[in-house]
């Protein structure tokens, strides 16, 4: 049967003392670093030697040198102290001005590309030490039910792989908090000088070859549903996995593609792509930030949500006219 160590009778500050002596290789310097007397450090080392059953540090004319056992213990003790420090720092009140936390946001690239620039600008101003990770989200392929299409995003939130998900659906389970960010619709994008821009009719739209953004390669989307209601169809000549890739392909081909209006207004011109209104009514989406309700108890996550709620700027008249809309 194992003899379990009684931690209630063990002073964990001895590990801090071990760390200081190991790094300084000198009892006097370790004492200065810890604001202790040299005799207090020596006394602590004596207790630690008895606890660990090893001399740990051997005296030399220039200080001390660690024993082989001390060197073996260096990494495990550093891990223990790092874990304790992380726990204690997480318990401190959240201050964006001094925080060095990393948050992860899940979103399709057509949404993250809209939110990221204003978000980073705000962070640079009020929270320069905070880091952001973006996790790419797209609806599950071949899934028509809205509440099932984004099940991967819900699972990521439950598993804490993301702090906040930003997705274009209102079909969200009750356990999540929902915050509406902005409304989005779709425009038709094509290379600059494309003939469709001059005559964007429904008939011409159906005649042209289309590009569809689809993570799994499924060519059927909400545009096809809208066309079917009109007794129309189109040819999807190419699918690509994200919206930024779509812009690069559109710039070099005669393909056309339905893209989110805000995303296209912000990024299309840089690729030499122009946009026009669609010649049929396409679905409008409410872009929602969602997170587990319990996560709102985390002051840092609640603060990030508030920043996202301010992030998407309204589409200006200049942006609309320059896009040809």
What confidence tier does 51 reach under pLDDT thresholds 50, 70, 90? confident
Q: 1-10, 64-73, 191-200, 236-245: which range is least confident on average?
A: 1-10
Share of the chain above pLDDT 90, in %: 64
Of 213, 212, 233, 215, whose CA–CA distance to 224 is shortest? 233
> Model confidence over 76-122: pLDDT tens digits?
998 888 877 777 666 668 899 999 999 999 999 999 999 999 999 99
* Residue 312 pLDDT > 70: no
H or E element in which residue 227 lies? helix 222-229
| 238 Cβ contact partners less than 8 Å away, ≥ 6 residues apart | 209, 210, 211, 212, 249, 255
Question: What CATH homologous superfamily does 102-184+285-315 map to?
Answer: Periplasmic binding protein-like II (3.40.190.10)
Of 203, 300, 206, 197, whose CA–CA distance to 250 is shortest? 197
Cβ atoms < 10 Å from Cβ of 305: 20
Tell me the domain boundaries of the chain: 7-90, 102-184+285-315, 186-277
| 213 Cβ contact partners less than 8 Å away, ≥ 6 residues apart | 110, 239, 240, 241, 242, 243, 245, 246, 257, 259
> Model confidence over 241-287: pLDDT tens digits?
999 999 999 999 999 999 999 999 999 999 999 999 999 998 888 99
- Asked if the domains 7-90 and 102-184+285-315 are classified in one and the same CATH topology, the answer is no
> Model confidence over 169-218: pLDDT tens digits?
989 999 999 999 999 999 999 999 999 999 999 999 999 999 999 877 88
| Model pLDDT, residue 11 | 76
Q: Is the CATH code 3.40.190.10 the one for domain 186-277?
A: yes
Structure tokens at 13: 């500050």
CATH class of 7-90: mainly alpha
* Residue 317 pLDDT > 50: no
- What's the mean per-residue pLDDT of the chain? 88
Are 109 and 243 in contact by the 8 Å Cβ rule? The answer is: yes
Of 67, 27, 59, whose CA–CA distance to 44 is shortest? 27
- Model-wide pTM > 0.85: no
What confidence tier does 324 reach under pLDDT thresholds 50, 70, 90? very low
Are 212 and 219 in contact by the 8 Å Cβ rule? The answer is: yes
Find the DSSP H helices in 26-137.
Answer: 27-34, 38-52, 68-90, 109-126
Average pLDDT over residues 65-75: 92
> Model confidence over 149-159: pLDDT tens digits?
788 899 999 98
3-state secondary structure at position 25:
coil
State how far the Cα of 305 lies from the Cα of 274, in Å rounded to an integer.
32
């Amino acid at each position: 049967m194992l003899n379990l160590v009684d931690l209630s009778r063990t002073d964990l500050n001895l590990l801090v003392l071990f760390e200081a002596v190991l790094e300084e290789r000198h009892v006097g310097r370790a004492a200065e670093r810890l604001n202790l007397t040299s005799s207090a450090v020596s006394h602590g080392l004596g207790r630690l030697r008895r606890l660990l059953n090893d001399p740990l540090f051997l005296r030399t004319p220039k200080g001390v040198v660690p024993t082989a056992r001390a060197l073996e213990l260096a990494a495990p003790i550093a891990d223990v102290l790092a874990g304790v420090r992380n726990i204690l720092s997480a318990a401190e009140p959240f201050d964006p001005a001094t925080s060095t936390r990393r948050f992860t946001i899940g979103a399709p690239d057509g949404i993250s590309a809209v939110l990221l620039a204003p978000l980073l600008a705000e962070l640079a101003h009020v929270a320069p030490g905070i880091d952001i990770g973006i996790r790419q989200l797209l609806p599950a392929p071949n899934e028509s039910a809205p509440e099932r299409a984004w099940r991967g995003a819900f699972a990521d939130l439950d598993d804490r792989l993301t702090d906040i998900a930003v997705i274009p659906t209102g079909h969200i389970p009750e356990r999540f908090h929902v915050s509406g960010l902005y409304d989005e619709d779709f425009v038709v994008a094509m290379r600059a000088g494309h003939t469709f821009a001059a005559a964007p009719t429904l008939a011409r739209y159906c005649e042209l070859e289309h590009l569809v953004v689809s993570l799994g390669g499924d060519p059927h989307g909400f545009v096809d549903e809208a066309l079917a209601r009109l007794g129309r169809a189109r040819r999807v000549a190419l699918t690509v996995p994200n919206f930024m890739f779509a812009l690069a392909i559109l710039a070099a081909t005669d393909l056309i593609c339905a893209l989110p209006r805000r995303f296209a207004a912000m990024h299309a011109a840089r690729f030499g792509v122009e946009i026009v209104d669609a010649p049929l009514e396409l679905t409008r989406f409410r872009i929602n930030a969602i997170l587990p309700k319990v996560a709102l108890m985390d002051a840092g996550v609640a603060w990030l949500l508030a920043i996202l709620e301010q992030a998407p700027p309204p589409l200006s008249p200049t942006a609309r006219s320059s896009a040809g809309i």
